[in-house]
Amino acid sequence: MIGILGAGAFGTALAVALGQAGRQVRLWARDARTVAQMQETRRNDKVLPGVDLPKTVSVHAEIAEIGGGEAVLLAIPMQTLAGALDLYPEIGQGTPLVACCKGVDLTSLRGPVALIRDRRPESVAAILTGPSFAVDIARGLPTALTLAATDRGAELQDLLSTPTLRLYRTDDITGAELGGALKNVVAIAAGAVIGAGLGDSARAALMTRGYAEMVRLAMALGARPETLAGLSGLGDLVLTCTSTQSRNFRFGLSLGQGTGFDPSITVEGVATASAVLRLAEARGVDMPITAMVDALASGRIALNDAIGQLMSRPLKQE
């Protein structure tokens, strides 16, 4: 049995994919009304309209009911991960915990695996990340992800792979975490470029220089550059910077267009930009695009001023 903490779009999509592959899945949702609705309709139409839950997926309101299996997937936002682990001590207890979120914790400046290890030292900690939209996974469209783990990685890879969900394994947890986190920041910038009408050439340049920032910080923190060139880095960057399915890209679009954005939608890249800048400054890593995203998102700078500052930086060798 596989437990999934969080019945948002990604958690529900993973439940569907694993259930369709014959896995027994227990999906937990925080809201009792959501649980009742999903139990009755066998759907989660709020986040994945029209997608039926397989018979092997059960939906639960009691947190204790999703533990005790082969693994628990933590499909909750990065900035709530630490609080959830503290609030629900029954989750884990020796069961492998796989983070399915992307970002850097604002309080500790640590990634999801470090947060899990701090709070569940007896459990194997891993992260599942890479280029994926929930709706594609739920529809059974071919998707490839990275599973980063230093222990029991092959076992978890076999457990979580399906005919339509192909997992590649790495032991470079830092690289996988940072690729997934930092691409959201670049996606906000890419969205702002398109929203402001600056064109696809500008977006391509932004993505390339943003990728350079990702690699610089990741290597400064001990990651391997080849990890950033893989699914969890470059692959996720391409997807997130080129599709309006990406919440971070859409948020950037709103910045570029000068329009409002729904505050109820989680945009992980905003918090990540703030946290990453603190990490970069402590290690002397130059991240001008990240700095501009942080300033734009907080309203400290106007878009035209941000573009001007980036374009007027000293010329240098690539």
What is the spatial distance between Cα 103 and Cα 81, in angstroms, rounded to a whole number? 10
Q: What is the mean pLDDT of residues 265-292?
A: 95
* Rounded percentage of the chain residues whose pLDDT exceeds 90: 90
Radius of gyration of the chain (CA): 19
Q: What is the mean pLDDT of residues 300-311?
A: 87
pLDDT of residue 163: 97
Q: What is the mean pLDDT of residues 266-290?
A: 95
* Rounded percentage of the chain residues whose pLDDT exceeds 70: 100
- pLDDT band for position 119 (cuts 50, 70, 90): very high
- pLDDT band for position 306 (cuts 50, 70, 90): confident
- Is the pLDDT at 1 greater than 80? The verdict is yes
- Is the pLDDT at 114 greater than 80? The verdict is yes
CA dihedral in degrees (32, 37, 38, 39; nearest 10)? 90
Q: In what order do the strands lie in the sheet with 2-5?
A: 57-60, 25-28, 2-5, 71-74, 97-99, 125-129, 143-149, 165-170
Domain 174-311 has CATH 1.10.1040.10: yes
Which of these, 156, 245, 136, 138, lies nearest to 146 by C-alpha position? 156
Choose the weakest-confidence range: 76-90, 187-201, 273-287, 295-309. 295-309
Catalytic residue check, 183: yes
Bigger pLDDT: 312 vs 52? 52
Q: Which of 46, 55, 102, 183 is catalytic?
A: 183
- Is the pLDDT at 313 greater than 80? The verdict is no
Other CB atoms within a 10 A radius of the CB of residue 265 amount to 10
Average per-residue pLDDT in the chain? 95
Distance from chain centroid for Cα 196 = 25
pLDDT of residue 312: 79
What is the spatial distance between Cα 44 and Cα 14, in angstroms, rounded to a whole number? 13
Which of these, 93, 12, 98, 90, lies nearest to 58 by C-alpha position? 12
pLDDT of residue 74: 98
Task: Give domain 2-171's CATH superfamily.
Answer: NAD(P)-binding Rossmann-like Domain (3.40.50.720)
pLDDT by residue (tens digit) across 157-188? 999 999 999 999 999 999 999 999 999 999 99
pLDDT of residue 318: 77
pLDDT by residue (tens digit) across 208-267? 999 999 999 999 999 999 999 999 999 999 999 999 999 999 999 999 999 999 998 989
Give the residues across from 59 on adjacent strands: 27
- Is the pLDDT at 317 greater than 80? The verdict is no
| Sequence ranges of the domains in the chain | 2-171, 174-311
pLDDT of residue 194: 96
Give the residues across from 71 on adjacent strands: 2
Bigger pLDDT: 305 vs 161? 161
